[in-house]
Amino acid sequence: MTDEPSVPANYAKTLFDLEGRVAVVTGAGSGLGAAMAIGYAQVGVDVVLADINMEGMEATRATIAEQGGKAEIQKLDVTDRAACFALADKVAASRGHVDILVNSAGSAFRSPAEEFPEEKFNFILDLNLKGTYFCCQAFGGKMLKQGKGSVINIASIGSFTAYPWASAYLASKGGVLQVTKALALEWRDRGVRVNGIGPTLMESPLTKAAGQKTSITADFIKARMLRPRLGLPRELIGTAIFLASDASELVTGHIVMCDDGYMTQ
């Protein structure tokens, strides 16, 4: 029998240590992105908030500051590839490194497929899929030069399964799944891990804005969960910390599901 590899003293205590790392969180002006940005700041991460929602980012930054954390606001339209690369250059120049990217910018639109407007379909694909890909290219490129980094894409239960009135969203999140796997494969030998978080339907301003149209989708989803309720944005923070930390150094190319059992059905 061979000896097991030794475990250094206090090894486990350092696994989740993110103190001093730099994270860029898109969609940080509200919902999931705001919650994860606040969570990172609570554990000592230097957070760059990126969104087109300036008012929302100001609120996120204020919360972080009140809690003793550190955050900077940068306006970013993730569908603008040049803007993504420009911000990556700016963050790398000012911080010297980019350790974590969370691609949380996204949107949804509920409609029966036969009535789905072309402009809404294009908007959802551009924001959710192309925006994620552009940021992966821009910030992932910086990580590749460093030889280390963690990319976390916000996928969905809709990356794997379908539900009513969400055909464009499902198409975009299915694409996010494949982008995550493809980049993890390409970058696995270059120190950059690419994973995703797969939430169930979450409480957020976007969900509330959709009103009755969301309730049709929500009823379908909640009936297949262990607890019939929407997820809370703060319930993704632990997973976001895990995937950004050294605790997940053998994890790449995976979507960690935060779905309250939905995918077991």
Contact (CB, 8 A) for 102 and 36: yes
H/E element, 134: helix 131-146
Question: How far apart are the C-alpha atoms of 98 and 147, rounded to whole Å?
Answer: 11
Burial class (CB in 10 A: 0-12, 13-18, 19+), 178: exposed
Contacts of 251 (CB under 8 A, 6+ apart): 193, 195, 243
Which residue in 133, 163, 169, 262 is the catalytic one? Answer: 169
Look up 169 and say whether it is catalytic: yes
Contact (CB, 8 A) for 237 and 43: no
Closest CA to 242 of 102, 140, 135, 69: 102
Q: Could you list the active site residues?
A: 169
